[in-house]
Amino acid sequence: MSSDIEHIIWADLRASAEALVKEEPDLASYYHANVLNHESLEEALAYVLASRLGNQVMPPLMLSQVLQKILLKDADIAEAVRADLVAWRTRDPACSSYLDPFLHFKGFHALQSHRMAHALWISNRQWLARLIQSRCAEVFDIDIHPAARFGRGIMLDHGTALVIGETAELGDDVSLLHHVTLGGNGCLGGNRHPKIGDGVLISVGATVLGPIHVGEGAKIGAGSLVLDDVPEHCTVAGVPARIVGKPISERPSLAMDQSLDS
Question: Dihedral (C-alpha) 93, 97, 101, 104: value to the nearest 10 degrees?
Answer: -100
Select from 31, 33, 5 the least CA-distant residue to 16: 31
pLDDT above 70 (res 125): yes
Angle, alpha carbons 136-142-148 (nearest 5°):
85
Domains of the chain, start order: 1-141 (1.10.3130.10), 148-262 (2.160.10.10)
The pLDDT score that the predictor gives to residue 178 is: 97
pLDDT above 70 (res 41): yes
The pLDDT score that the predictor gives to residue 262 is: 52
The pLDDT score that the predictor gives to residue 2 is: 53
Sign, CA dihedral 79-132-120-130, equals: negative
**pLDDT tens for residues 157-203?**
999 999 999 999 999 999 999 999 999 988 888 999 999 999 999 99
pLDDT above 80 (res 261): no
Angle, alpha carbons 131-52-57 (nearest 5°):
40
Between CA 262 and CA 258 the distance in angstroms is 13
The average confidence (pLDDT) of the chain is: 95
Select from 115, 114, 116, 88 the least CA-distant residue to 12: 88
Local structure of 215: helix, strand or coil: coil
Between CA 15 and CA 7 the distance in angstroms is 12
